[in-house]
């Protein structure tokens, strides 16, 4: 999950058609399993040397076709895009979904240092991660601008990619996290602490090793359930007294299966959570490094999609920013803003078909 108000366009220019009724749970599980199996048949995997790291990349679609770079957030991996990859391939695009640095089967620099209260998180600034993406595109032969589609932390990274290297981006679809301009007055974590207090999840994450110990106490699968099932349209808190009990029962939402949870858990059991948490810990360092871009605009065509139950959409001031011109001011080529009704934060998995349709309809304008 991302940093919200640090991060909110103009009014909703269109709402999706109502979704058809969901089938009964057992039938729904069968349908989702069949769809996932079909998607997996078109997805291939490889490891690429980029920016001094080994990055795992999932791919689908014809080589040489227009490339779509898919950037995931926390706590996910390339696997979050499994549904969209099949749809993009069927539409004739070449989908590239890396495990971002620190996640899945990609390298996690600095993770051991941070678990020992070191400064490894400083290897997760926007400069480092954007360096990974540029090097990745070069390594796979994508020298021309690509389409970028990004969710959560991936979206924050994508906005920074557009800000720092607009020459590498043809157009952007950002989900859940809008672009917001850098505030010269206050570091982002300081602002969040003043707004929400020390128990706000981003503030709790800041001290290396502490939240890792809490996640270890709860267990990987339960931590993932707690994040993925979160639908409260408001801030997420992790009290110092504990984020619940290891015996908590958290029912899964309808759009994710036990098999999906086990897949994610297998990756986080292997890498730990530190790599993903380091993005949050590097927020203030990124703020320092991006000072020269204070007040700069995003000069890339963009579309923004968010669910109306997404916690990011309910950060104080964000809806005014989105709907009253602030977003459009800083992203002048903003083409469309879509607010999806009754949809939470993990929108790309909760509404995979609708999201795929929004992505493809937008990038076709530039194909």
Query: pLDDT tens digits, residue range 45-57?
Result: 999 999 999 999 9
Q: What is the mean pLDDT of residues 173-190?
A: 97
Percent of the chain with pLDDT over 70: 87
Q: What is the mean pLDDT of residues 11-37?
A: 39
Q: What is the mean pLDDT of residues 216-225?
A: 98
Spot the catalytic one: 280, 313, 336, 358: 280
pLDDT at 200 over 80: yes
Report the predicted TM-score, pTM, of the whole model to 2 decimal places: 0.89
Task: Determine how many CB atoms are found less than 10 A away from the CB of residue 333.
Answer: 14
* CA 66/CA 68 separation, integer angstroms: 7
pLDDT at 139 over 80: yes
Return the pLDDT at 26. 45
Per DSSP bridges, beta strands 146-151 and 94-98 are unpaired
pLDDT at 18 over 50: no
* CA 233/CA 211 separation, integer angstroms: 23
Which DSSP state fits 299? -
Angle of helix 126-139 relative to helix 153-164, nearest 10 degrees, comes to 80
Return the pLDDT at 113. 53
* CA 305/CA 296 separation, integer angstroms: 22
Percent of the chain with pLDDT over 90: 85
Q: Which residue has the tokens 């366009």?
A: 9
Return the pLDDT at 337. 98
pLDDT at 15 over 70: no
User: Do 231 and 267 contact (CB within 8 A), yes or no?
Assistant: no
Q: What is the mean pLDDT of residues 214-223?
A: 98
* CA 176/CA 310 separation, integer angstroms: 7
DSSP per-residue letters across 44-103: EEEEEEETTEEEEEEEES-TTSPEEEEE--TT--GGGGHHHHHHHHHTT-EEEEEPPTTS
Return the pLDDT at 282. 97
Question: Would residue 345 show up in a list of annotated catalytic residues for this protein?
Answer: yes
Task: Label residue 2 by pLDDT band (50, 70, 90).
Answer: low
Task: Label residue 112 by pLDDT band (50, 70, 90).
Answer: low
Return the pLDDT at 119. 65
Return the pLDDT at 110. 83
Task: Label residue 123 by pLDDT band (50, 70, 90).
Answer: very high
pLDDT at 172 over 60: yes
* CA 116/CA 351 separation, integer angstroms: 39
* CA 222/CA 207 separation, integer angstroms: 21
* CA 319/CA 309 separation, integer angstroms: 12
Question: Would residue 152 show up in a list of annotated catalytic residues for this protein?
Answer: yes
Q: What is the mean pLDDT of residues 126-146?
A: 98
**pLDDT (tens digit, 9 = 90+) per residue, 334-367?**
999 999 999 999 999 999 999 999 999 999 999 8
Of 109-123, 216-230, 267-281, minimum mean pLDDT range: 109-123
pLDDT at 300 over 90: yes
Extract the tokens encoding 362. 């937008």
Q: What is the mean pLDDT of residues 242-254?
A: 96
Spot the catalytic one: 99, 152, 260, 310: 152
Question: Would residue 310 show up in a list of annotated catalytic residues for this protein?
Answer: no
Return the pLDDT at 41. 59
Of 335, 351, 343, 338, residue with least CA distance to 305: 338
Task: Label residue 5 by pLDDT band (50, 70, 90).
Answer: very low
Q: What is the mean pLDDT of residues 67-88?
A: 98
Task: Label residue 114 by pLDDT band (50, 70, 90).
Answer: low
Of 58-67, 119-128, 254-263, minimum mean pLDDT range: 119-128
């Amino acid at each position: 999950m991302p940093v919200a108000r640090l991060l909110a366009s103009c009014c909703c220019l269109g709402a999706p058609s109502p979704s058809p009724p969901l089938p009964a749970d057992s039938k729904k599980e069968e349908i989702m399993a069949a769809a996932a199996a079909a998607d997996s048949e078109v997805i291939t995997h490889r490891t690429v040397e980029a920016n001094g790291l080994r990055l795992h990349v999932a791919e689908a679609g014809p080589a040489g076709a227009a490339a779509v770079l898919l950037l995931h957030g926390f706590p996910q991996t390339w696997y979050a895009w499994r549904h969209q990859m099949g749809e993009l391939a069927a539409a004739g695009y070449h989908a590239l979904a890396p495990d971002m640095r620190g996640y899945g089967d990609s390298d996690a620099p600095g993770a051991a240092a941070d678990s020992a209260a070191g400064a490894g998180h400083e290897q997760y600034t926007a400069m480092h991660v954007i360096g990974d993406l540029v090097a990745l595109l070069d390594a796979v032969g994508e020298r021309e601008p690509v389409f970028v589609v990004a969710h959560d932390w991936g979206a924050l990274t994508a906005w920074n990619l557009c800000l720092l290297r607009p020459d590498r981006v043809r157009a952007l679809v950002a989900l859940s996290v809008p672009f917001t301009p850098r505030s010269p007055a206050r570091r982002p974590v300081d602002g969040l602490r003043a707004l929400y207090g020390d128990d706000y999840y981003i503030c709790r994450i800041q001290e290396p090793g502490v939240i890792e110990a809490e996640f270890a106490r709860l267990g990987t699968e339960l931590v993932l359930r707690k994040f993925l099932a979160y639908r409260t349209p408001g801030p997420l808190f992790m009290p110092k007294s504990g984020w619940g009990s290891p015996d908590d029962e958290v029912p899964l939402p309808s759009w994710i299966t036990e098999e999906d949870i086990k897949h994610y858990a297998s990756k986080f059991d292997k890498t730990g959570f530190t790599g993903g948490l380091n993005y949050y810990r590097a927020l203030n360092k990124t703020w320092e490094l991006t000072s020269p871009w204070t007040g700069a605009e995003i000069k890339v065509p963009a579309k923004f999609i968010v669910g109306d139950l997404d916690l990011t959409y309910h950060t104080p001031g964000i809806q005014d920013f989105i709907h009253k011109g602030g977003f459009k001011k800083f992203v002048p080529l903003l083409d469309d803003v879509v607010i999806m009704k009754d949809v939470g934060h993990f929108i790309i998995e909760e509404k995979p078909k609708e999201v795929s349709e929004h992505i493809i309809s937008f990038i076709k304008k530039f194909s």
